[in-house]
Amino acid sequence: QDGQLRWKRVMLKLSGEVFAGGEPLGIDPAVVARLADSIAEAVSVGVQLAVVVGGGNIFRGAALSERGMDRARADYMGMLGTVINCLALQDFLEKRGVETRVQTAITMQQVAEPFLPRRAIRHLEKGRVVIFGAGLGSPFFSTDTCAAQRALEIGAEALLKGTKVDGVYDADPRTNPDAVRFDRLDYGEVLTRGLGVMDATAISLCMDNGLPIVVFDLMGEGNILRAVRGEKIGTLVSP
């Protein structure tokens, strides 16, 4: 155990995009392996870690519906995609000796437990990493909203949003060299300035419940450990 820990239990949101590495679609096992290394390092300090995994590397409901699919059905496809990512992450974590459980919002008991909040909490208390798949199990939501909801339901004290950028900027840093990064923001600013932290549903849920959000660069060396320990990293969105 580590006396420096700021939070006892945290929620880590992993976007599906990251799983694809440089590819537009699918899973790059080398990337998931690196991610698993970083998560294993982070949990070794004794923080209880839950993970929500996205699915943007497989299917996004909104994108499919723009191309003619029924939105709700496309969203279910998106949710199923997140489970594929969960199983990949589970495999690489267990290879590193990290005990895990996958829980899904759509039951598929051959591959994962159903989402049972009290059981998830028991797993966390035993030091297992709990990976949540299939989002909230409902169309028209995002895995970011799921991460906020699950964080609240299991009593996580912070939502750590790992992305491809190292925080929140006032413009897109990939296209605008003058973009400035925020160290801190409040939820209202994120909503009114339309900053692309997470969708408005997710931000509102965090705002209404005072759940802090840390937006950070997921693949930076040692970053998950820093975020989990509550060190200053990326952008903090808080009351």
The answer to whether the beta carbons of residues 131 and 187 sit under 8 Å apart is no
SS3 212: coil
Contact call for residue 203 and ligand UDP (CB under 6 A): no
Contact call for residue 167 and ligand UDP (CB under 6 A): no
Q: Looking at beta carbons only, is 143 or 223 nearer to ligand UDP?
A: 143
CB atoms within 10 A of CB 161: 27
Binds ligand UDP by CB under 6 A, chosen from 27, 88, 102, 136: 136
Contact call for residue 133 and ligand UDP (CB under 6 A): no
Q: What does the per-residue mask of binding to ligand UDP show for 82-121, with x meaning CB under 6 A?
A: x---------------------------------------
Q: What does the per-residue mask of binding to ligand UDP show for 45-84, with x meaning CB under 6 A?
A: ---------xxx---xxx------------x--xx--x--
**What is the closest distance, in whole angstroms, from the C-beta atom of residue 207 to ligand UDP in the complex?**
19
55 carries a ligand binding annotation: yes
Contact call for residue 138 and ligand UDP (CB under 6 A): yes
C-alpha distance from residue 144 to each of 92, 111, 126, 170 (Å): 23, 23, 26, 20
DSSP secondary structure letter of residue 169:
E
Binding residues for ligand UDP, how many (CB under 6 A)?
A: 22
The answer to whether the beta carbons of residues 49 and 12 sit under 8 Å apart is yes
Q: Which residues make Cβ contacts (< 8 Å) with residue 216, sequence separation at least 6?
A: 160, 161, 162, 163, 166, 167, 223, 226, 227, 233, 234, 235
143 carries a ligand binding annotation: yes
Q: Which residues make Cβ contacts (< 8 Å) with residue 183, sequence separation at least 6?
A: 167, 232, 235, 236
Binds ligand UDP by CB under 6 A, chosen from 9, 17, 34, 220: 17
Phi and psi, residue 163, nearest 5° = -135, -170
Binding site for ligand UDP (CB under 6 A): 15-17, 54-56, 60-62, 75, 78-79, 82, 135-136, 138-139, 141-144, 146
Annotated binding-site residues for ATP read 13-16, 56, 60, 163, 169, 172
